[in-house]
Amino acid sequence: MKLKGGIVGRLSILGVVAMFVLLGLFLVGAQWKIGEVMIGVAIGALLIIALAIGGAMLWYANKHPETALMEGAEVLVHKQLQITTKMGIVDEAMLEPSVDETMPVIEVKATQSDLDALDVPKSLPEAPANG
Amino acid sequence: MADIYHIYIKAPGLASDDPVLDKRLNTALDWIRYGDQCWLVHTTSDAAKWYQRLAPIVKARGGNLFIIKLDPTKRQGWMPKSVWKWIKDARSTQI
């Protein structure tokens, strides 16, 4: 599978390059046996970088799976394709999220207890005595 | 009288912009797709009619189909402006 595009694709390429550099350092260290401490430090730093890149890739791909491999322009097209009408794709300016300004404005300032409060069922009308 | 319905379609192998799907949806007065599998449809047909139109496509692929009439007078959210404009336009062109 090719991972060329998007932030995940680019970080993948960076990760592969880092692995080659790591391999090169191993070979240099084995052949000339010089600066072993420095090579060890460099290998350690590369491992940390590789782990950080891997973690960032997993986080982003998990949070944005549909756009993880897309370039900027592709992300825009993806958004436009999502918002499509019978008449066609909508303008980029109309993709910006907002509230519906024609409806009453709701201030989002609920407390945790408000958020946790359960719905109270409305009482049903009394059934007729004979029914 | 035209109403607004929410339609959810999930069918393996069926893209959201599949021409077969577009052809059926284009029988509505208007529609907007606001997510990969979600549409708002401005229509004079009822849910049963929409089920007849869309079920063959979905059932053949082992997917899911959900159609429900909306009350657009009660709405709130955080959506692209195009969605709000579409609802406003649909309500202003009641037939």
Q: DSSP string covering B9-61, please?
A: EE-TT--TT-HHHHHHHTTSSEEEEEETTEEEEEESS-HHHHHHHHHHHHHTT
Kindly tell me if the per-residue pLDDT of A92 is higher than 90.
no
Residue B88 token pair: 């406003």
Residues of chain B found within 8 Å of residue A96, distances taken between Cβ atoms: 80-81
Q: Is A123 on the interface with B (CB under 8 A)?
A: no
Interval B1-55: pLDDT, tens: 899 999 999 999 999 889 999 999 999 999 999 998 999 999 999 999 999 999 9
Q: Smallest Cβ distance to A83: which of B26, B34, B88?
A: B34
Q: Smallest Cβ distance to B32: which of A85, A97, A99?
A: A85
CB contact under 8 A, A94 and B77: no
Report residue A95's pLDDT band, with 50, 70 and 90 as the boundaries.
confident
A77 DSSP 8-state letter: H
CB contact under 8 A, B80 and A84: no
CB contact under 8 A, A82 and B81: no
- Cβ proximity of B2 and B42 under 8 Å: yes
- Cβ proximity of B6 and B68 under 8 Å: yes
Q: What is the ipTM of this complex?
A: 0.81
* Helix ranges restricted to H, A6-130: 6-32, 36-63, 72-82, 112-116
Kindly tell me if the per-residue pLDDT of A64 is higher than 80.
no
Q: Smallest Cβ distance to A83: which of B25, B78, B80?
A: B80
* B85 vs A95: CA distance, rounded Å: 11
Of the listed ranges A19-33, A36-50, B6-20, the least confidently predicted one is: A19-33
- Residue closest to B43 by CA, chosen among B54, B31, B33, B29: B29
Q: Is B28 on the interface with A (CB under 8 A)?
A: yes
Mean local confidence (pLDDT), A35-55: 79
Residues in Cβ contact with A87 at an 8 Å cutoff, skipping those fewer than 6 apart: B30
Residues of chain B found within 8 Å of residue A66, distances taken between Cβ atoms: 36
Residue B52 token pair: 């007849």
At B94 the pLDDT is 65
Rg (chain A; Cα; Å): 28
